């Protein structure tokens, strides 16, 4: 709360005229309307929203189910808390650093595809362990696969945010980018719900395989981007 109010206080000292001038309210509203309509007429905007709504389904479902899953496999609450507090955080941090470097070296599309396939492979590994060993699967194996998933997640998040920024018109700024972020939140909501329903009806293995398959299917959306997306204002 202190940081929020401090930021609002500092805004009082910002001279808006230094950032492009101040338009009358009506002119500003008309300009915003034109930019908004233009952004949502672009094919890349809708493809980006479709990707945001589906690509993270695998790890969002596993993240929602992980607590009950590990408890069902005999891990104690303290062990789970320690795992979430240290290995998971470290894996995501390392993954984010790798993702930033990777996306700059090989491009957003390739980096997204690699990181998505990486975390999907870890989730399918969990599904395979569940099918073959069930509750007797070694905890070290499960935690290792989950750590690998979070490493891929860190990479994927770093690259996907850069990707959505590339698709965003700088003149529309936070409005368009926030729309992409809202779509990722939508993915979290529906995949957690679907994963829970699948576990209840068919078990963990079916849920892990099905939700990772949804993530892999989103690779077809990336194919629609024939080249590395540029900022929308330059396209």
Over pLDDT 70: what percentage of the chain?
Answer: 80
Per-residue pLDDT at 171? 76
pLDDT at residue 231 tops 60: no
Quote the tokens at residue 10: 């500092």
Q: Taking all residues of the chain, what is their mean pLDDT, rounded to a whole number?
A: 86
pLDDT at residue 4 tops 80: no
C-beta of residue 117 within 8 angstroms of C-beta of residue 216 = yes
Q: For residue 60, which of 179, 193, 180, 158 has the smallest C-alpha distance?
A: 193
Backbone angles phi, psi at 92, to 5 degrees: -70, -40
Mean pLDDT of the region 97-121: 95
pLDDT at residue 100 tops 90: yes
How many other CB atoms are there within 10 angstroms of residue 206's CB atom?
Answer: 16
Mean pLDDT of the region 63-74: 93
pLDDT at residue 35 tops 80: no
Per-residue pLDDT at 214? 97
C-beta of residue 113 within 8 angstroms of C-beta of residue 169 = no
Q: For residue 59, which of 110, 118, 137 has the smallest C-alpha distance?
A: 118
Confidence category of residue 226, pLDDT binned at 50, 70, 90: low
Per-residue pLDDT at 134? 87
| Terminal Cα distance for the chain, rounded | 39
Rounded to 10 degrees, what is the CA torsion of 96, 99, 105, 111? -170
How many other CB atoms are there within 10 angstroms of residue 62's CB atom?
Answer: 28
C-beta of residue 49 within 8 angstroms of C-beta of residue 183 = yes
The conformation of residue 205, written as its DSSP 8-state character, comes to H
Confidence category of residue 173, pLDDT binned at 50, 70, 90: confident
Per-residue pLDDT at 228? 46
Q: Read off the pTM.
A: 0.83
Per-residue pLDDT at 26? 64
């Amino acid at each position: 709360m202190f940081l929020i109010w401090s930021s609002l206080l500092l805004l009082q000292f910002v001279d808006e005229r230094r950032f492009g001038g101040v338009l009358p309210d009506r002119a500003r509203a008309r300009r915003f309307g034109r930019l908004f309509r233009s952004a949502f007429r672009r094919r890349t905007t809708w493809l980006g929203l479709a990707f945001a709504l589906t690509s993270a389904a695998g790890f969002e479902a596993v993240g929602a189910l992980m607590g009950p899953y590990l408890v069902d496999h005999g891990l104690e609450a303290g062990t789970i808390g320690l795992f979430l507090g240290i290995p998971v955080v470290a894996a995501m941090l390392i993954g984010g650093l790798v993702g930033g470097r990777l996306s700059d070296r090989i491009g957003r599309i390739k980096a997204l595809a690699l990181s998505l396939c990486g975390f999907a492979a870890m989730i399918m590994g969990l599904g395979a362990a569940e099918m073959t060993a069930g509750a007797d699967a070694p905890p070290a194996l499960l935690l290792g696969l989950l750590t690998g998933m979070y490493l891929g997640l860190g990479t994927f998040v770093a690259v996907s945010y850069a990707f959505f920024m590339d698709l965003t018109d700088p003149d529309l700024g936070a409005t368009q980018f926030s729309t992409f972020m809202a779509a990722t939140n939508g993915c979290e909501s529906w995949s957690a719900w679907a994963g829970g329903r699948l576990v209840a009806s068919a078990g963990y293995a079916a849920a892990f395989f099905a939700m990772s398959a949804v993530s892999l299917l989103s690779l077809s959306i990336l194919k629609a981007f024939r080249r590395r997306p540029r900022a929308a204002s330059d396209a």
